[in-house]
Amino acid sequence: MKSYTDYLWFQTKKRREYINITGEVEDAVAKSGIQEGFVMVGAMHITASVYVNDAESGLIQDIDEWLDSLAPLGKDYRHHRTGEDNGDAHLKALLMHYQVLLPITEGKLDLGPWQQVYYAEFDGKRRKRVIIKAIGE
């Protein structure tokens, strides 16, 4: 069995952004040389997420509004007593999860017809990274 690791770096312009990273994950899988296995894609920060869903702008807006209804920006979270102002970002990241595990089949990322890999940033404007770790044969 072999493994391959790569990193993506982000510094978003807005506090919240949803970035399609499917192409970058596909590139990492190709570089790995792994034919059969898995690739784990994970946000390495506690206010960001990686998820799989449809690349449709209305759905992305729906996801953003849904998350804001569950963890609204501006609420007086206990976390803010530490001097931070990103309590909502921590909760949004918990709802969306921080990583995904995806299959590699015949040397390619094996997604369903509408599935895309996204990096979701909930407390942006700072440099952050995502790990891509492929394992297999």
Q: Find the helix or strand (DSSP H, E) in which 131 lies.
A: strand 128-136
CATH architecture of 2-136: Sandwich (2.60)
- Give me the residues paired with residue 23 across strands: none
Q: Where are the domains of the chain?
A: 2-136
Output the CA angle 33-35-37, nearest 5 degrees.
110
The CA distance from 8 to 63, in Å, is 23
| pTM to 2 decimal places | 0.95
The tens-digit pLDDT sequence of the chain (137 residues) is: 999 999 999 999 999 999 999 999 999 999 999 999 999 999 999 999 999 999 999 999 999 999 999 999 989 999 999 999 999 999 999 999 999 999 999 999 999 999 999 999 999 999 999 999 999 99
Where in 11-127 does DSSP place strands (E)? 17-20, 37-43, 48-53, 99-105, 108-109, 116-121
